[in-house]
C-alpha cells in the first residue's frame, strides 16, 4: 500500500488503522467520520504491512452493495487480484460460502438451496392449511408474514422449535418468554400453533435440502463453534455497521474470532435502526465483556456533510433524551441551511423535487450529475408519486430495493430450472419448473409426484424421471409424454452444468430448449419487458462470472492450503482420492496435487451463481448496466452507509415518520438521523398537508421529530431552497472533492436552461447572487402551474 493512502487520515483514524491486530478494536463514531474508510484502509494495512494473507481476512458488510463498494475502494489500494481473495460480504454470504465447503461437518449437503422469503411464505401457507379449521373455531386468522416474522425472531435469538415448545409448556419459562416478546401472548392456541408451524417449517426446509436466511447464520454459528479448525484460518475479522448485528451474527463473529482474537468492529449506536429485526445494540457492550482487552477509538471529525446539515441532524437525534451526547465537528464550512417545506399534496411535493433537481443541475454547470441526487423514503410505497414526477420531467431514476428483481416471475421461472438442476430435492423449484411453460401437468399430478417422492425417499425430479422412463407403469402414458419437454432439457443442462458450463450459457441454452420467449409472447401482455428482464438475468450472470473469475478458476479451497472431503468425492473418484490428506473432521492440509482433481467437482459455477442471486436481494441489477447516471429513490434503511451530494427526505409526517406501526419511536428518530446524514452538500426535508391514504386524501401533520427541533432551535432550517450563489457552489465543490465549477460555463448553462424553460434569466435579476437566501423566481421551484407558500 502506498504511504499516500495513510496521509489522508487524521490522527485518530491513523491510530485505528495501525492498531495492533492482536488486540480487539472497537471504532465508535458518528456518521461520515470515516469508519468505513478506516476499515478498508486497515484491511489494506494488515495485508501490506502485517503480511496477513488476504484469503484469511473476513470483512463483513451490512449489504451486498456495501461489499461491492468496499471491494472497489480496496482495489484502488491493493489491486483487484489481491482484493478478490479477501472473504468479503454480508454475514449471510460468508456463512453460505463456508457452509458449502464444510457442509458435512454440520450434517448438510453441499448443494443446499438458499430459500428466499417468497418460498418460505409458500411453505408456511401450505402448512397453515392443516390448522385452519382449528383456528376458525376460535375466529382466529393467522397471516403467513406474521408467522414467518415470529419464526425468524425465534431463530435470530437462537431458539429452536423444541426450545419454543418447551417454553410454552413450562409456565415460568412462558412468562419470561412473553416478557421478552419471544412468542406471541395473545392466546395459547396461537402460541401453540406457531410453535408447531415452526417445527414443521424446519422439517420441510430440511426435506427440501434448503436453508432460509436465518438458517445460514444458525448453521454458520454451529460450524465455527463446534469446529475450531474452520475458524483457525480466519486471521482477522472486521465488521462494519456493528450496531445493527443481531444475536446470531454476534455469536458468529465471536466464534470466528475465538481462535485468533483478532477482531475490528466499527459502529455508531446513534445509527442503530434494525431493532425491529432483532438487532442488539448491546452487542457493543457484550463484545467488551467477551474480549476484555478491547480498545476503543473514537473519531470526532465528520468529512461528509456541511456544518448546517450536521447541526440540523444532530438536533434531531439529540431529542432522544436517553442518548449519550457525542462530539462531532465537521471539516467543512457551514453552507446553506437544510430546507424544510410544506406542500398541499404528495404530487406537488414530488413535482417540486423533480423541478429542483433540474434547477440544481443547471445552476452548478457540470459539477452535479443525476446520480448525485437521492430521494430517501420511510417506505417503498411512497415512491410512486416521486417516480412518476421524475419520469414526467424526463429525469432518469432507479428504485433501489423496490420491486426486487429476483422476485419477478420470469426471473423465478429461469432460476427454478437452475435450482432443480443443482438441487433436485428443492420442491418449490420443481413444482414451478415442471409446468412452466404450461405442459398440461396439473396440480393433482404434481402433488402425486411429491407424495411418491416422500414415500420412496426420492427427489421429485427422480420420480418424474422414473415416470418418463416408464418405471412407474401405473401412471398414465399422457403424463409421460407431457414430461418429455421437461426431462429432456433438464438432462441436457445437468450434463453441461456438471462439466462446469458457465451459468450465462446454461440460461441461454435453457431459453432455447423450452422456447421461453414464445411462452412469454403467448401468455403475457408485457412479454417484451419480461424478456428484457430475462436478458438482464443473463447480464447479472455474466457480471458474476467476470467478478468471480478467480474463484471459478480456483475452486479447490476457500482457505489457504485446506480443503474438505466432499460427500461424493470417494464414490466418484476412488482412485484419485487420497484418504491420508484428511483428518477425522474431514479437514486437510492439502499436499500439492492431492485430491486437486476432485476439487473441481465441488461448487460448480452454477451453484455459486445461484447462491449469489439468492443473496443479492439488495442489489439492483440495472446497476450492472453501463449507465449508472440516475437519481436514486430508496428507503432510509437501504441508504445506510451511503452518501449523496443532494438528498431529499419527503413525507416527514406524523404517522409516517415515526411510522404508526413502529414499536420504538427512538429507533424511528435515529432512522431520520441516518437519512439526513447521508447528505453531503444540500438537504431537503418536506411534508405535505394532505396525502392519499387508501384511496382517500387525508390531512397530515408535520412529524413531531421536526417541529420539536424547529421550536427549540429556530434558524436550523430554511423555508426556501438555497439560491446557489457562487459561494454555495464553491462550498459544494469542496465538500464533493470536485473542481469548483467554471463560472462562465455555469452562467451559460443557466441562461440556456431558463431560455428553454421560457423563463427569465436568474443571473440578470437585480441583486445578483450575493444574498444567499433570497427567494428565487417561484416558477423555477414549483413549475408553472402552481405556487405554494413554503411552510414558515
Ligand atoms: P456512516 O456512519 O454513514 O457509515 P462512515 O463513518 O463510515 O459513515 P465513511 O463513509 O467512511 O464514513 O466516510 C464518509 C466520507 O468522508 C467519505 O466520502 C470518505 O471518503 C470521507 N473521508 C473520511 N475520512 C476522510 C479523511 N481523513 N480525509 C478526507 N475524506 C475523508
Ligand atoms: Mg460507513
What pLDDT is stored for residue 599 in this prediction?
A: 36
Q: How far is the CA of 676 from the centre of ligand 1 (A)?
A: 15
The Å distance, Cα 267 to ligand 1 centre, comes to: 13
Tell me the sheet residues that pair with 374. Answer: 632, 647
Q: Give 671 Cα–ligand 2 centroid separation in angstroms.
A: 15
CB-based contact 193:142 (threshold 8 Å): yes
* Residue 440, Ramachandran bin (φ over 0: left; ψ between -120 and 50: alpha; else beta): left
Q: How far is CA 786 from CA 117, 349, 509, 775, 789, in A?
A: 44, 12, 55, 16, 10
User: What's the 325 CA to ligand 1 centre distance in angstroms?
Assistant: 21
Using an 8 Å Cβ cutoff, are 582 and 557 in contact? no
Long-range (24+ apart) CB contacts under 8 A made by 369-372 are 369/629, 370/395, 370/396, 370/397, 370/629, 370/630, 370/631, 371/628, 371/629, 371/630, 371/631, 371/632, 372/644, 372/645, 372/646, 372/736
Closest ligand 1 atom to residue 29 Cα is 6
CA of 642 to the centre of ligand 2 (A): 7
4 has pLDDT over 90:
no
Task: Supply the residue whose CA is at minimum distance from atom 18 of ligand 1.
Answer: 304
C-alpha cell recorded at residue 681: 452538500
690 SS3 class: strand
- Other C-beta atoms closer than 10 Å to the C-beta of 24 total 23
Report d(CA 120, CA 144) in Å as an integer: 9
Q: What stretches of 293-352 adopt beta strand conformation (E)? A: 295-299, 301-302, 329-330, 339-343
For ligand 1, atom 16, the nearest C-alpha belongs to 303
pLDDT greater than 60 at residue 563: no
Quote the ligand 1 centre to 67 CA distance (angstroms).
Answer: 16
| CA–CA gap between residue 713 and residue 693 (Å, rounded) | 32
Judged by its nearest atom, the ligand closest to the C-alpha of residue 7 is 1
Spatial separation of the C-alpha atoms in residues 492 and 153, rounded to whole Å: 42
Q: Which atom of ligand 1 is nearest to the CA of 303?
A: 16
**What is the per-residue pLDDT across 589-601, written as a single tens digit (0 to 9) for each?**
333 333 333 333 3
Coil/strand/helix, residue 642? coil
Question: What is the spatial distance between Cα 505 and Cα 541, in angstroms, rounded to a whole number?
Answer: 9
What is the rounded CA–CA span in Å between residue 168 and residue 342? 50
Best CA proximity match to 56, nearest among 223, 235, 260 = 235
Residue whose CA lies nearest to ligand 1 atom number 8: 32
What is the distance in A from the centroid of ligand 1 to the CA of 182? 38
Residue that has been written with the C-alpha cell 411534508 in this structure? 687
pLDDT band for position 735 (cuts 50, 70, 90): confident
Burial of 29 from C-beta contacts in 10 A (0-12 / 13-18 / 19+): buried
Give 513's contacts (C-beta < 8 A, 6+ positions apart): 488, 489, 492, 493
CA 269/CA 296 separation, integer angstroms: 14
Cα–Cα distance between 196 and 127 in angstroms, integer? 10
Alpha-carbon dihedral 569, 572, 576, 577, rounded to 10 degrees: 30
Structure confidence at residue 760 (pLDDT): 38
Helix H or strand E encompassing 129: helix 117-129
Residue 282 vs residues 98, 188, 250, 321: alpha-carbon distances, Å: 27, 31, 10, 18
Of the pLDDT bands very low, low, confident and very high (cuts 50, 70, 90), residue 291 is very high
pLDDT of the residue at 601: 39
If one residue of 32, 644, 673 were mutated to test the ligand 1 pocket, choosing by the most ligand atoms within 8 A of its CB, it would be: 32
Neighbours of 8 (CB within 10 A): 12
Q: Ligand 2 center to residue 158 CA distance, Å? A: 28
Residues 570 and 319: their CA atoms lie apart, in Å, by 64
Our mutation pick for probing the ligand 1 site, out of 63, 76, 244, 303, counting the most ligand atoms within 8 A of Cβ, is 303
Question: Which helix (DSSP H) or strand (DSSP E) does residue 679 occupy?
Answer: strand 679-688
Residue 582 confidence (pLDDT) above 90 = no
CB 492 within 8 A of CB 508: no
Task: Identify the pLDDT of residue 772.
Answer: 31
ipTM of the complex as predicted = 0.99
Residue nearest (by alpha carbon) to ligand 1 atom 31: 303
What would the mean pLDDT of 103-110 be, rounded to a whole number?
90
pLDDT band for 381, please (50, 70, 90 cuts). Answer: confident
Question: Which residue has its alpha carbon closest to ligand 1 atom 21?
Answer: 303
For Cα atoms 126, 127, 130, give the angle at the middle one, nearest 5 degrees. Answer: 105
Mean pLDDT across the stretch 256-281?
86
Asked if pLDDT for residue 570 goes beyond 70, the answer is no
Q: What is the mean pLDDT of residues 339-355?
A: 96
Ligand nearest to the CA of 676: 1
Q: 390 CA to middle of ligand 2, Å?
A: 29
> Which residues' Cβ are closer than 6 Å to ligand 1?
8-10, 13, 29, 31-37, 268, 271, 303-304, 641, 643
- Is there a contact between 343 and 688 (Cβ–Cβ < 8 Å)? yes
Enter the C-alpha cell of residue 370.
443525476
Query: Residue 233's closest CA among 562, 554, 552, 555?
Result: 562
Cα 718 to averaged position of ligand 2 atoms, centre (Å): 28
**Bind-site residues:** 29-36
What is the 311 CA–ligand 1 centroid distance (Å)? 17
Atom 28 of ligand 1, nearest CA residue: 8
**Closest approach atom of ligand 1 to CA 38:** 11
Q: Which mutation among 11, 15, 36 tests ligand 1's pocket best, with the greatest number of atoms within 8 A of CB?
A: 36
Atom of ligand 1 nearest to the CA of 39: 11
- Measured CA to CA, the distance from residue 419 to residue 608 in angstroms comes to 11
pLDDT at position 592 is 34
CA distance 280 to 273: 10
Nearest CA owner, ligand 1 atom 13: 34
At residue 149 the predicted structure's pLDDT band, cuts being 50, 70 and 90, is confident
- The residue whose CA has the least distance to atom 11 of ligand 1 is 34
Own/partner long-range contacts of 159-165 (Cβ < 8 Å, ≥24 apart): 161/195, 161/198, 161/199, 161/202, 162/199, 164/194, 164/195, 164/198, 165/195, 165/196, 165/199
| Of 617, 219, 124, 207, residue with least CA distance to 426 | 207
Assign 411 to helix, strand or coil: helix
Query: What pairing do the DSSP bridges indicate for beta strands 631-635 and 373-377?
Result: parallel
Nearest ligand by distance to the CA of 734: 1
> Which pLDDT does position 401 carry in this prediction?
65
Q: Which residues carry a binding-site annotation for ATP?
A: 29-36
Query: Quick check: 158 and 164 in contact, CB under 8 A?
Result: no
Q: Give the ligand 1 atom nearest the CA of 302.
A: 16
Ligand 2: centre distance to CA 673 (Å)? 14
For atom 30 of ligand 1, the residue with the nearest CA is 303
Instruction: Tell me the backbone φ, ψ of residue 721, rounded to 5 degrees.
Output: -65, 155
366 or 650, higher pLDDT: 650
Candidates 335, 334, 332, 237; CA nearest to 291 is: 237
The whole-number pLDDT of residue 550 equals: 59
pLDDT band at 374 (very low <50, low <70, confident <90, very high): very high
What residues contact 640, with CB distance under 8 A and at least 6 apart?
62, 63, 241, 244, 271, 273, 674
Closest to 283 (Cα-Cα) out of 91, 96, 99: 91
Ligand 1 centroid to Cα of residue 338, in Å, is: 20
Name the residue at shortest CA distance from atom 27 of ligand 1: 9
pLDDT at 172 over 80: no
Most confident of 119-128, 173-182, 749-758: 119-128
Band (pLDDT 50/70/90 cuts) for residue 61 is very high
Tens-digit pLDDT profile for residues 689-726 = 998 776 678 899 999 999 999 998 889 999 999 988 88
State the ligand closest to the CA atom of 640: 1
Cβ neighbours for 465, distance < 8 A, ≥ 6 positions apart = 487
**Integer angstrom CA distances of residue 173 from 156, 162, 205, 375:** 18, 13, 28, 46
Cis? peptide before 658, omega within 30° of 0: yes
Distance 409 CA to ligand 1 centre (A): 39
Query: How would residue 681 be classed by pLDDT, with cut points 50, 70 and 90?
Result: very high
Long-range contacts of residues 83-87, Cβ cutoff 8 Å, at least 24 apart:
83/54, 84/547, 84/550, 84/551, 85/53, 85/54, 85/55, 85/550, 86/43, 86/54, 86/55, 86/57, 86/58, 86/59, 87/55, 87/57, 87/58, 87/59, 87/234, 87/558
- Report CA(34)–ligand 1 centroid distance (Å): 3
Phi then psi for residue 84, to 5 deg, are -65, -15
Ligand 1 atom nearest to CA at 40:
11
> Given the CA of residue 31, which atom of ligand 1 is nearest to it?
2
Q: Which atom of ligand 1 is nearest to the CA of 33?
A: 6
697 sits in which H/E element: strand 696-699
Ligand nearest, relative to CA of residue 303: 1
Which residue has 432439457 as its cell numbers?
489
Parallel, antiparallel or unpaired: strands 690-693 and 696-699: antiparallel
- Are the C-beta atoms of 304 and 32 separated by less than 8 Å? yes
Ligand nearest to the CA of 680: 1
Q: What's the pLDDT score for residue 594?
A: 36
Closest atom, ligand 1, to C-alpha of 677:
3
At 274, the pLDDT band (50, 70, 90 cuts) reads confident
pLDDT exceeds cutoff 70 at 174: no
- Separation of alpha carbons 245 and 256, rounded Å: 15
| pLDDT for 382 beyond 50 | yes
- Burial bucket for residue 423 (CB in 10 Å: 0-12, 13-18, 19+): buried
Write the residue with the smallest CA distance to atom 9 of ligand 1: 34
Does the structure show a pLDDT above 80 at 448? yes
Give the residue-averaged pLDDT of 187-192. Answer: 71
Determine the pLDDT at residue 596.
Answer: 35
Would you list the DSSP string of 544-599? HHHHTHHHHH-TT-SBTTEEE--TTHHHH-GGG--GGG--TTSEEEPPTTTTHHHH
Ligand (nearest to CA of 645): 1
The residue whose CA has the least distance to atom 14 of ligand 1 is 32
Residue 176 is predicted with a pLDDT of 66
Ligand 1 site-directed mutation target among 28, 33, 34, most atoms within 8 Å of CB: 34
Closest ligand 1 atom number to CA of residue 642: 3
Place of cell 418460498: 119
- Neighbouring-strand partners of residue 682: 646
State the pLDDT at residue 343: 96
Lowest mean pLDDT among 337-341, 394-398, 517-521, 555-559: 555-559
Give the closest ligand to the alpha carbon of residue 273.
1
For residue 512, what is its C-alpha cell?
A: 432455447
Q: Which three cell numbers stand for residue 634?
A: 430508496
Amino acid at each position: 500500500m502506498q504511504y499516500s493512502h495513510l496521509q489522508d487520515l487524521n490522527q485518530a483514524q491513523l491510530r485505528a488503522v495501525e492498531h495492533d491486530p492482536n488486540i480487539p478494536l472497537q471504532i465508535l463514531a458518528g456518521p461520515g467520520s470515516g469508519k468505513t474508510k478506516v476499515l478498508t484502509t486497515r484491511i489494506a494495512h494488515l495485508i501490506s504491512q502485517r503480511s496477513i494473507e488476504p484469503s484469511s481476512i473476513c470483512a463483513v458488510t451490512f449489504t451486498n452493495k456495501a461489499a461491492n463498494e468496499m471491494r472497489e475502494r480496496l482495489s484502488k489500494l491493493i489491486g483487484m487480484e489481491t482484493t478478490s481473495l479477501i472473504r468479503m460480504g454480508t454475514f449471510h454470504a460468508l456463512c453460505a460460502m463456508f457452509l458449502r465447503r464444510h457442509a458435512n461437518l454440520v450434517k448438510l449437503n453441499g448443494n443446499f438451496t438458499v430459500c428466499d422469503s417468497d418460498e418460505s411464505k409458500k411453505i408456511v401457507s401450505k402448512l397453515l392449511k392443516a390448522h385452519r379449521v382449528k383456528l376458525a373455531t376460535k375466529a382466529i386468522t393467522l397471516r403467513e408474514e406474521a408467522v414467518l416474522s415470529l419464526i425468524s425472531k425465534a431463530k435470530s435469538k437462537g431458539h429452536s422449535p423444541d426450545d419454543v415448545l418447551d417454553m410454552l409448556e413450562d409456565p415460568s419459562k412462558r412468562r419470561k418468554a412473553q416478557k421478552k416478546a419471544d412468542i406471541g401472548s395473545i392466546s395459547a392456541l396461537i402460541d401453540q400453533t406457531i410453535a408447531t408451524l415452526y417445527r414443521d417449517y424446519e422439517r420441510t426446509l430440511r426435506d427440501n435440502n434448503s436453508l432460509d436466511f436465518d438458517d445460514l447464520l444458525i448453521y454458520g454459528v454451529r460450524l465455527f463453534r463446534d469446529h475450531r479448525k474452520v475458524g483457525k484460518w480466519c486471521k482477522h475479522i472486521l465488521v462494519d455497521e456493528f450496531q445493527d448485528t443481531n444475536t446470531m451474527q454476534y455469536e458468529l463473529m465471536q466464534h470466528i474470532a475465538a481462535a485468533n482474537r483478532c477482531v475490528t468492529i466499527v459502529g455508531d449506536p446513534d445509527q442503530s435502526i434494525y431493532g425491529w429485526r432483532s438487532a442488539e445494540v448491546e452487542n457493543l457492550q457484550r463484545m467488551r465483556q467477551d474480549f476484555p482487552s478491547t480498545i476503543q477509538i473514537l473519531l470526532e471529525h465528520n468529512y461528509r456533510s456541511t456544518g448546517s446539515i450536521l447541526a440540523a441532524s444532530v438536533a434531531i437525534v439529540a431529542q432522544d433524551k436517553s442518548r449519550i451526547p457525542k462530539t462531532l465537528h465537521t471539516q467543512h464550512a457551514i453552507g446553506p441551511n437544510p430546507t424544510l417545506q410544506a406542500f398541499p399534496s404528495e404530487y406537488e411535493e414530488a413535482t417540486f423535487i423533480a423541478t429542483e433537481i433540474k434547477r440544481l443541475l443547471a445552476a452548478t454547470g457540470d459539477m452535479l450529475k443525476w446520480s448525485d441526487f437521492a430521494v430517501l423514503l420511510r417506505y417503498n410505497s411512497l415512491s410512486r408519486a416521486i417516480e412518476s414526477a421524475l419520469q414526467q420531467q424526463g429525469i432518469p431514476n432507479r428504485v433501489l430495493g423496490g420491486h426486487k428483481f429476483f422476485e419477478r416471475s420470469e426471473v423465478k421461472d429461469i432460476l427454478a430450472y437452475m435450482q432443480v438442476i443443482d438441487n433436485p430435492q428443492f420442491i418449490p423449484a420443481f413444482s414451478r419448473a415442471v409446468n412452466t411453460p404450461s405442459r398440461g401437468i396439473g396440480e393433482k399430478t404434481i402433488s402425486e409426484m411429491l407424495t411418491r417422492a416422500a414415500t420412496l425417499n426420492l427427489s421429485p425430479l427422480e420420480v418424474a424421471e422414473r415416470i418418463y422412463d416408464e418405471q412407474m407403469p401405473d401412471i398414465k402414458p399422457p403424463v409421460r409424454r407431457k414430461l418429455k419437454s421437461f426431462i429432456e432439457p433438464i438432462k441436457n443442462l445437468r450434463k453441461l452444468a456438471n462439466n462446469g458450463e458457465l451459468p450465462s450459457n446454461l440460461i441461454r441454452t435453457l431459453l432455447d430448449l423450452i422456447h421461453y420467449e414464445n411462452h412469454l409472447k403467448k401468455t403475457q401482455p408485457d412479454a417484451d419487458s419480461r424478456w428484457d428482464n430475462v436478458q438482464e438475468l443473463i447480464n447479472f450472470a455474466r457480471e458474476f462470472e467476470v467478478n468471480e473469475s478467480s474463484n471459478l478458476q480456483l475452486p479447490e479451497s476457500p482457505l489457504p492450503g485446506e480443503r474438505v472431503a466432499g460427500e461424493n468425492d470417494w464414490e466418484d473418484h476412488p482412485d484419485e482420492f487420497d484418504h491420508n490428506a484428511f483428518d477425522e473432521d474431514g479437514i486437510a492440509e492439502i499436499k500439492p496435487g492431492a485430491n486437486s482433481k476432485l476439487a473441481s467437482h465441488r461448487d460448480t459455477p452454477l451453484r455459486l451463481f445461484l447462491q449469489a442471486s439468492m443473496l443479492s436481494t439488495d442489489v439492483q441489477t440495472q446497476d450492472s448496466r453501463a449507465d449508472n447516471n440516475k437519481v436514486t429513490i430508496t428507503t432510509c434503511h437501504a441508504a445506510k452507509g451511503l452518501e449523496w451530494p443532494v438528498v431529499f427526505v419527503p413525507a416527514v409526517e406524523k404517522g409516517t415518520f415515526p411510522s404508526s406501526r413502529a414499536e420504538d419511536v427512538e429507533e424511528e428518530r435515529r432512522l431520520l438521523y441516518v437519512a439526513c446524514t447521508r447528505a453531503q452538500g444540500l438537504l431537503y426535508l418536506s411534508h405535505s398537508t394532505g396525502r392519499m391514504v387508501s384511496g382517500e386524501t387525508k390531512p397530515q401533520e408535520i412529524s413531531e421529530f421536526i417541529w420539536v427541533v424547529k421550536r427549540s432551535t429556530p434558524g436550523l432550517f430554511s423555508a426556501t431552497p438555497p439560491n446557489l450563489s457562487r459561494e454555495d457552489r464553491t462550498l459544494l465543490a469542496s465538500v464533493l472533492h470536485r473542481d469548483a465549477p467554471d463560472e462562465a460555463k455555469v452562467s451559460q448553462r443557466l441562461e440556456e436552461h431558463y431560455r428553454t424553460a421560457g423563463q427569465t434569466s436568474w443571473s440578470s435579476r437585480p441583486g445578483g447572487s450575493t444574498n444567499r437566501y433570497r427567494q428565487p423566481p417561484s416558477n423555477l421551484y414549483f413549475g408553472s402551474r402552481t405556487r405554494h407558500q413554503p411552510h414558515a
